[in-house]
Structures are given as structure tokens and as C-alpha cells.
A = this chain, B = another copy of it.
Amino acid sequence: MREVAVIGAGMTKFGELWDMSLRDLFVDSALKAMNDAGVDILDSIYVGNMSAGQFVGQEHLGPLVADQLGMPGVPAMRIESACASGGMAIRSAFFEVASGMSDLVLASGIEKMNDGADVTGVLATASDQEEEVYYGVTFPGLYAMIARAHMEKYGTTEEDLSWVSVKAHKNGAKNPHAQFRRVMSLEDVMTSSVVAEPLRLLHCSPVTDGGAAVLLCPLDRAHEFTDKPVKILGTGAATSSLALANRPDPADLDVVELSGKRAYEMANLEPGDIDVAEVHDCFAIAEICCYEALGFVGKGEGKDAAREGVTDLGGKIPVNVSGGLKSKGHPVGATGVAQAVTIVDQLRGQGGDVQVEGAKVGLAQNMGGSGASSVVHIFQGV
């Protein structure tokens, strides 16, 4: 297998971007990644997207984005795994380069959520229609059940959840791409309105438009394009039952653990080797579960990590220095690629106000549904 590196990365501002269409989100982020590497040709494009068909009435994004980039002809396809679509697009691009088929492959993710669609209804189609949606549950409800199970099993509290959001906003306030650049106090979070008990508004990621892209090439060609390539050491993916009720234990995200285990094995690394991580905090409870599933802390210890600063900047393992999905925003199909952009920035020492000093190895974990799919990538600055 050929070794693969990221040679360019870029993303749009995240937010309610009423002046940018789905195609604008792609072109803006793709050109940033390509310009970052000084590249004006591509061998192939992958575009992660959850549901442009439902959000804006447009399927068939492969030719759309190649065309909009001024590159009709280039092979392009859409990858979908709900909110893990972006991470899966990186995985697909990785395979194409690793196989020896292509040298310059763009992995992008885009989602246009603010365009009039019933967002909660569309997002619900990432859960099990027959076993969940028909009975009326949506994602805040599903993650509320995960939170309740975690509280029951490990003694996690609403305050524990809230510290995750406080940390997210503290970091996101320093991220020029973030949707919400406001510091939030513990009181702000704990008095925000209840969405699905015990989850409050500030425990939930927002509705966001955005795009992100990373450009991959064989490691042995990377220095043609950049002084600071970032090697992909490992990719791990997994699924679990689509319906939450069919999982062994709703308090543990088994899909994250399995995808992480596969990525660690491929990279020949352990959790303690990770210097900085972006994880899928679609709801505050998800971040706590991810700490545990990825081995950053022991089972049941996730609840204390944010409060005690373990995952804060300067802590043992800084997590979501970008502000995470909570503060940076969560354009669902773009999120996994945006996580990679943050990690690439960190490993190049371009992390700005949230740079983790001396970061050499970073991890990005991207999840779909209530924990039905997950993909983990491990990166190393070289």
C-alpha cells in the first residue's frame, strides 16, 4: 500500500451562509485546499454530503462539483454516511491514492442546511425509519437517551455535560471559521432552554452551512507541493446497529471504540500517543462517550475530563480545539473533513490561538447517526 499524505487543506467560514449556495461551499473550500498546495489539476474528487437531495433538491453532486470547479471530466462521486460522510470521503480518497490509481485526489465535504428544509426531519432520516422515526424520535431525543444511560451507568451529571460546552465555546471563540465565537459560562449552559431532557440548547450542535476540503497525494510526492505534508498513518471505520435500541449498551459508543481500535492498529499507535484530537460532539454527551471509546480516559471517567481540564488546551489531550461541532458548527456532510483541516493545521503548527505546542500526532473521529457509523483517521506531521 502506498503511503498517503495531506498536502493542502481549507474550509469555508461555518454558519448561516445565506449568500452561499451548495456549489459555492464546494468551490470556496476546494480552491482553498488546492491553492494551499499550489495545485491546479486533480485526478479525482470525493464529496461527502449527507442529504443535499432533501435539503436543497440536488443529488448527483459528483459532476456538479467537478463542473463548478471548472473541471468537467474529472471522476467525482458523492460519499454518504450521514454525519460521517466527510470522514468517509477522506477514507475513500485515501484508498484511491493508496492503491496507486491516482496521485491528486480531493476529499471534500459540503452541506447546505439553511435553505428552507425541515432540518430536524431531514436529519432524522439518518436514524432507523422503521424502528425509530416512525415512532417520533429525532436526534436530540436519541442522544438524550444516551445521556440518561450514561448518567445511570457512570453517574454523569448535567454539569459534566455543561463543562464540555463551556470548553467548546472557549476554543471556538478563538476560531475565525466558527459559527458561534462567543464564550459561554457554566451558568449560560445550565440555564439554556431544555431541548430533550437532560440536553439543553447549549449541549446541542447547531444547524450550519459549510464546506471543507483536503488534498491527498502519495507521501513520496508530497514535498513537491508543500514543505509541511501531513501523513495519514491510519484509517479505521465501523458500523453498529442503526437503531439505538439494538445496541449492546446505549451508554457506550461501541462504533467509536471499534473504529478507533482499527485506526490505532493500522497506525501502530495507542491513545497515549495522540497529541490533539477532534471528536464528534454533535451533543455534549457524545464527546464524553468519545473520550472513553477512544481510550483518552478510562470507562466512566469521561464525565470529569472537561471539568478537570484534561481535554482543554494545555491538558493531557486537548480535544476539539476548533470549538467542535458545538461552537464551530456542524454542516453535517462537511464536519469530518473540517475536523481533518483542524488537525492538519495543528500538525503544521498553524493552529493560531489554539495551537497545541509541539503537536506531532493528531486524531479525527467522525460519527454518523446516534453512533451507527464512525470513522477515525490518525495524522502525523512529517
Contacts and interface: CB of A to CB of B under 8 A. Distances in A.
Interface residues of A, number: 64
A62 to B, nearest CB: 5
B72 A239 contact: yes
A1 B97 CA distance: 10
Contacts of A15: none
Copies assembled: 2
A63 B373 contact: yes
A63 B1 contact: no
Contacts of A128: 64
Interface in A10-65: 21, 44, 50-51, 53-54, 56-64
A59 B126 contact: yes
Contacts of A293: none
Given A76-B373, A78-B81, A99-B98, A50 B57 contact: no
A75 interface: yes
Given A78-B81, A80-B77, A60 B242 contact: yes
Contact of A129 (B57, B239, B242, B368): B57
Given A72-B241, A239-B75, A54 B56 contact: no
Interface of A: 1-2, 21, 44, 50-51, 53-54, 56-64, 66-67, 72-82, 88, 91-92, 95-96, 98-101, 122, 125-130, 133, 235, 237-243, 246, 255, 258-259, 368-369, 372-373, 375
26 contacts: A21-B130, A50-B59, A51-B59, A57-B125, A57-B129, A58-B125, A60-B125, A60-B126, A60-B372, A62-B88, A63-B373, A64-B242, A64-B372, A66-B239, A67-B246, A67-B372, A73-B240, A74-B238, A76-B373, A77-B92, A78-B79, A78-B81, A79-B80, A98-B99, A98-B101, A101-B235
